[in-house]
Amino acid sequence: MPTASWVLAELIRFCSPNTNRDVATASIQELTAKIVPFFEVIEGRTYIHNGHELKAEEVALPLLYHAYPGRVAYDELVKAVKRHGIAQSSAYAGISKLKNFVDANDDGWVLRGGGRQKAEVLLAELKSKTTTTSQSE
């Protein structure tokens, strides 16, 4: 990675001689930033990067988004939220906050359009926090 960063820095310096050194450095850091997958699936169980730092609804919403267009059984959603270190009572309370954003039937929950939009906004915020944190490390 250091060699690739050096080559990239030289390419930016060579190809754009009028580029400010700080701008070039920022471009290189952005291009070489370590990208961590946001979702991880282990033996059929989905985890969210840094999910242990989130509220129950902030865990449940991306989990439903990841499963879309499939449905997630309510009990499985509660278990998935609990796997992120959230107490069962908090998991139930957080998931109940999403009722206006899902279609629920006997087969489980699936996000509706508004829920997908809300999830995309949340994911963008979480990913930007993750990128900012990893760049500062």
DSSP line for 60-79: HHHHHHHHTTS-B-HHHHHH
Number of folded domains in the chain?
Answer: 2
Residues 20 and 76 in one domain: no
More confident residue, 99 or 127: 99
Pair 48, 54: CB distance under 8 Å: yes
By the 8 A CB rule, do 94 and 86 touch? yes
Q: Are residues 50 and 22 in the same domain?
A: no
76 and 92 fall within a common domain = yes
With beta carbons less than 8 A apart as the criterion, state whether 96 and 71 touch: no
Q: Are residues 22 and 45 in the same domain?
A: no
Say yes or no: 62 and 85 in one domain. yes
Parent domain of 12 = 2-32
- 66 and 79 Cβ atoms separated by less than 8 Å: no
Is residue 33 pLDDT above 80, yes or no? Answer: no
Asked whether residue 97 falls in the same domain as residue 129, the answer is yes
In a shared domain, residues 11 and 62: no
pLDDT tens per residue, range 82-122: 999 999 999 999 999 999 999 999 999 999 999 999 999 98
129 lies in the same domain as 79:
yes
Nearest alpha carbon to residue 67 among 80, 83, 54, 49: 80
Measured from the Cβ of residue 19, the count of other Cβ atoms closer than 10 Å reads: 13
% residues pLDDT > 90 (the chain): 49
